[in-house]
Structure 1
Amino acid sequence: MWTYVLSALLLLQSIAVQAQSPSLTKTPLSRRGSSRRHFDLPLVEFLGFKEDGCQPAPDFHTNIFHPVVCTPITNATTGITNVIVVANDKLPSTCILTLYADSNCKDTSSAEIGPIFPTSKPSACIGPIRDSGGDLFQANAAQLNC
């Protein structure tokens, strides 16, 4: 009987391993020897959508490698209204992703997502994006603060 149970467990484990998407599986971060925080692998994979419901193909896709650096959303000419976030599994659990209505992260119209918890699984579709006053806006830049 135990041989049947063991073979069934091994089969389930192999199916689970094959089901993982390699693009969303993160490996440990490594720091380079500089005074500025820099990581070889992205802290956050960021997918942006112009349409409600996070359609299968994102209008914008980028990786955020540096905390506190403004990342313009250049692929989406009209900004994005919905996002999916995939955080590296070594990301500190205190990070907050801020989305801005302008492309240089200086506009007062912004929305915060977080804290973002470390995981290699994508978040649910977040949106439509609203600023702190509850008004809808289109994000044109993103900044990660840890």
Structure 2
Amino acid sequence: MSSVYDYAVQKPNGENISLEEYRGNVLLIVNTATKCGLSGQFKDLETLHQTYNEQGLRVLGFPCNQFLHQEPVTDDEMSAVCERNFGVTFPLFKKIKVNGPDTEPLFQHLKSYARGNFVKDIKWNFTKFLVDKNGHVVKRYAPKTSPKEIEKDIQQLL
């Protein structure tokens, strides 16, 4: 079985980073969008990051513009907006696609191990994937699932 550690992603500046750097941590991987009606979740994601970072939780945000163009700004602007408007300090990566022929390989992997209700595709921004310390996908959460509702599952994995 492969793990998320087998994948590399890009920072907003285009620099490659191997997810191997997160080995041994619990990961909460989220596709995000600053103009989404669910963008208030940034604050709750940041709270999880601040609360559990020292215990080994890493929240990783992957901006996506596939849903009603709710992430229309450049990668650099997106990072600044998230920091300024939502206080985000957890890592945000280069804008990606989560569905279709150009789907980011990491998200192909996540979706193959954690299907949504009835379909594999991601339906909206703020779909969340919880990954254990071994890099295996544990659970997928719907966009409307509040990060607060995931806290107990995170605590069990830490």
Judge same fold: TM > 0.5, yes or no. no
Q: Greater share of helix residues, 1 or 2? A: 2
Larger Rg: 1
TM-score by structure 2 length?
0.24
TM-score by structure 1 length?
0.26
